[in-house]
Structure 1
């Protein structure tokens, strides 16, 4: 007799598998959704948690973190950022583990908020995208070090994120949308005629170029991308290349 697994039996098992492989991605996605969804309908929640440089200077230090939990620009920003946490986040966590994932996410978000608060002292803002940018920067570095390609959904999101937001920062939403769509289309066409490693290198080139362009205009996403790259590279150098206890042990004759 051939046994088959029913959808009802497979569902909980699949969900448990995702939680086991990517616990931090799941928890941060859920926490962000729990705070962001009510904030879409209650503007005072956004006001209470958003980035406000003046209030940060007056001691509300938690506003270096809480802006990552609300999406003040509406449902489009909410969907875009949560997709990034899920797609880029799961790809990063499966390669780095939960603690390193959380380190990258939080530091990229906090550094981006702190730097832009100093550069633009009158600008209020909110959203998870700078922290997502940190994950994308880390994904580029991690896959380069490991010489492996990320899953296609993460790769497509990475290219769209970098191309769209750099176009938006430099020339506005129309150019951003065209650039992002063109980037995704290019990956879709290229994957038919080139190798996965070439796609990874092409995506990395897009991200690095976008990072430089956004840094030039003080865009928060460029700061997040660069921070994620630096943290991922530093942690890889400090942790991944550390000799094991067995390697440190003197060899007998």
Structure 2
């Protein structure tokens, strides 16, 4: 368990360090702010006055198998790790989401988040059939930034990005719930970086 937590921290922190920087005024991260606000409100309700939201919105393999496919998306709105997990997930979303939206642009950011949440959620049905949290999005965004850093950055940034992506690979090999989203995010980051290069 300790090793897995270390891998979480390594992946997310190094992804933030490796992310190619854009001028702060280049793009206002409106999608990041909007998603942060929605998740914060729903999570606050879940953890205070409406605990039933967790069961209603969480990822549940049996329920999804019965046709409640929307849970692949709604599970990002509630948290399965209490207050500490909620704070961690929201801080990671604010930081990595801002970096990613400024790099990829709002439309591509939205497409990336939806793709990571849905495909990462399918992986999660195998790795952790019942659960919830914003962390699938966080790890996907982080891995996309690491992929961009690996392809676009100077030597030191490429080295940091490689550490981040290796942490994601380790999580995948350990069948951790975050390994799938990291893989999806990294693949998306490679594709998005190829689209950035002509205008770079």
TM-score, with structure 2 as normaliser:
0.80
> Tell me, which stretches of 5 or more residues in structure 1 are unaligned?
1-16, 149-196, 244-253
- Counterpart in 2 of 1:26? 33
2:145 is aligned, of 134, 139, 142, to 139
Answer yes or no: is the 8 Å Cα contact 1:70–1:127 preserved in 2: yes
- 1: CA distance, partners of 2:55 / 2:73: 14
- 1: CA distance, partners of 2:46 / 2:129: 19
> Tell me, which stretches of 5 or more residues in structure 2 are unaligned?
1-23
1:115-154 aligned within 5 A: 115-117=123-125, 119-120=126-127, 123-147=129-153
1:20-99 aligned within 5 A: 21-41=28-48, 42-99=50-107
> Matched residue of 2:147: which SS?
helix
Residue 105 of structure 1: CA displacement? 1.4
> Matched residue of 1:60: which SS?
coil
TM-score, with structure 1 as normaliser:
0.64
Residue 43 of structure 1: CA displacement? 2.0
1:220 is aligned, of 170, 177, 183, to 177
> Matched residue of 2:175: which SS?
coil
* CA offsets 1:142-201 (integer angstroms, 9 cap, x no match): 2333326xxxxxxxxxxxxxxxxxxxxxxxxxxxxxxxxxxxxxxxxxxxxxxxx52x23
* Count of residues paired in the alignment: 175
Structure 1 stretches of 4+ moved >4 Å: none
Structure with larger RCO (C-alpha < 8 A, sep 6+): 2
Residue 241 of structure 1: CA displacement? 5.2
CA RMSD between the two structures: 2.2
